[in-house]
Amino acid sequence: MLVAPLLLWALGVVASPHAAAGEVEDADSLYAQACMMLSDPTIRDVSAVPGMLEKCAEQGHLLARMLLLDVYEGTRVGIEPRVEKAFALALALADGKIENTRGKGINRADYLSARNEALYRLALYYEKGRGCKASPRDALLRMKAAAEAGLPKARAELARYLMNGVGCKPNPSEARKLLVELAHSAPSTPNIFFYMGYLYMNGLGMHGPKLRMARRLYEIGEQAGDARAINNLAAMYERGRAVPRSFSKALKLYKKAAALGCKEASANVQRLAYKAGVRSDTPWGLRVQRAVCRVVQALPISPVIGEWLMKVLITT
Give the model confidence (pLDDT) of 56-76 as tens digits.
998 889 999 999 999 999 888
Q: Mind listing the domains of the chain with CATH numbers?
A: 24-149 (1.25.40.10), 285-316 (no CATH)
Q: Which of 123, 119, 96 is nearest to 108 (CA)?
A: 96
Which residue would you say has higher pLDDT here, 101 or 237?
237
> How much is the average pLDDT of 27-56?
92
Give the model confidence (pLDDT) of 146-169 as tens digits.
999 999 999 999 999 999 999 999
Least confidently predicted of 7-16, 31-40, 131-140, 212-221: 7-16
Q: Are 236 and 197 in contact, with CB atoms under 8 Å apart?
A: no
Average pLDDT, the chain: 84
What is the predicted pLDDT for the residue at 17?
A: 40
- How many angstroms separate the CA atoms of 252 and 258, rounded? 10
What is the predicted pLDDT for the residue at 8?
A: 36
